[in-house]
Amino acid sequence: MKATARACANIALVKYWGKRDARLNLPAAGSLSLTLDALVTETTVAFEAGLAADELELDGVRAKAADAVRTSEFLDLVRALAGTTMRARVTSANHFPTASGLASSASGYAALALAATTAAGVTLTTRELSVLARRGSGSAARSLFGGFARMHAGERADGTDAYAEPLASPLTSRVRMVIAVVGGGVAKAFGSRDAMEHCAETSPLYAAWVALVPADLAAARAALVAGDLAALGELAEANALAMHATAMASRPAVIYWQPTTLALLAAVRGLRSTGVAAWATMDAGPHVKVLTTDTDAPVVALALRSVAGVTAVTTAAAGPAGTVS
């Protein structure tokens, strides 16, 4: 009745931004990501007879009520599959670089899905596990897999075809992501869940964003199969800018960037103009993640470190699939 799982966070190269069903957490479009070895979450779940309520400890301290409720709702899904009402003790730790500000629901719910199903004795196929992780967080469906992963939007109302799967590419072994943390990882101004909903309701660019994603996914996939990092990088940077443009056009605006974010974007363009492989992507925060190669990663890291306002720089390689024991 106890299991421990490890899963790595992922960064989307074609972003998930918007839902077609909030209750089942179904994405409005597909997405594509790279799992990163430097960002690991380790979670232990123990179902215990006699526990009156689920208990959640995050990074050594009792979790906030909102996080505890969301975790309990996810555990309810696992309890329903297992046919049990037993409550669980959940202990989760993010082994992320100090003050990275990158704590993500992706690795968290992927590790929770693995640990909770194993602890409850529920056996699922990889696809079913990805569908389950998606209920916790859309990006978590991708974090079960190593390397590149793509998420299918699916068409069914029950969400059984909205899952992620790994994508093999000759780029997997030599791709790197250099993460520049801006402003010490302050708490997000708008969580991605609320922001994407607000964006879908108010942004005049939202429909165009959702319509754009299938073409970006097809192009990203072709670049991955061909091993064309430049094509993948250009596409990823353009896709991230389109997502942020959509968010910025929301009313009121959702602006994740800080001045340092723009300075980093300029530094990345500067690197590119000198022939260095470097393409930027940003998520629901001010940090900039730069797609590059094993050979160019040191020069990229050096350049990003010298940008004023950058508080930490970490280089990650493609991470492994989630594991459980």
Q: Which residues bind ligand DP6 (CB under 6 A)?
A: 12, 15-17, 25, 31, 105, 137-139, 192-193, 283-284
15 vs 176, beta carbon nearer ligand DP6: 15
Characterize the bridge pairing of strands 288-293 and 61-62: unpaired
Instruction: Evaluate whether 291 touches 233 at the Cβ level (below 8 Å).
Output: yes
Among candidates 282, 284, 171, which has minimal Cα distance to 223? 171
218 vs 302, beta carbon nearer ligand DP6: 218
12 vs 324, beta carbon nearer ligand DP6: 12
56 vs 271, beta carbon nearer ligand DP6: 56
H-helix segments, 83-164: 105-120, 126-136, 140-143
Q: Nearest approach, Cβ of 84 to ligand DP6 (angstroms)?
A: 25
Task: Indicate the angle between helix axes 105-120 and 65-82, nearest 10 degrees.
Answer: 40
Q: Nearest approach, Cβ of 251 to ligand DP6 (angstroms)?
A: 19
243 vs 276, beta carbon nearer ligand DP6: 243
Q: Nearest approach, Cβ of 240 to ligand DP6 (angstroms)?
A: 9
Task: Indicate the angle between helix axes 65-82 and 126-136, nearest 10 degrees.
Answer: 150
Characterize the bridge pairing of strands 87-95 and 19-21: unpaired
Sequence-distant (6+) residues with CB within 8 A of 128 are none
Distances (CA, A) of 189 to 6, 107, 111, 194: 28, 21, 26, 11
Q: Nearest approach, Cβ of 49 to ligand DP6 (angstroms)?
A: 31
The first and second tokens of residue 4, run together, are: 């421990």
The first and second tokens of residue 84, run together, are: 């049990």
Q: Nearest approach, Cβ of 130 to ligand DP6 (angstroms)?
A: 13
Q: Nearest approach, Cβ of 291 to ligand DP6 (angstroms)?
A: 14
Q: Nearest approach, Cβ of 23 to ligand DP6 (angstroms)?
A: 12
17 vs 145, beta carbon nearer ligand DP6: 17
47 vs 279, beta carbon nearer ligand DP6: 279
In what helix (H) or strand (E) does residue 271 lie, and over which residues does it extend?
helix 259-273
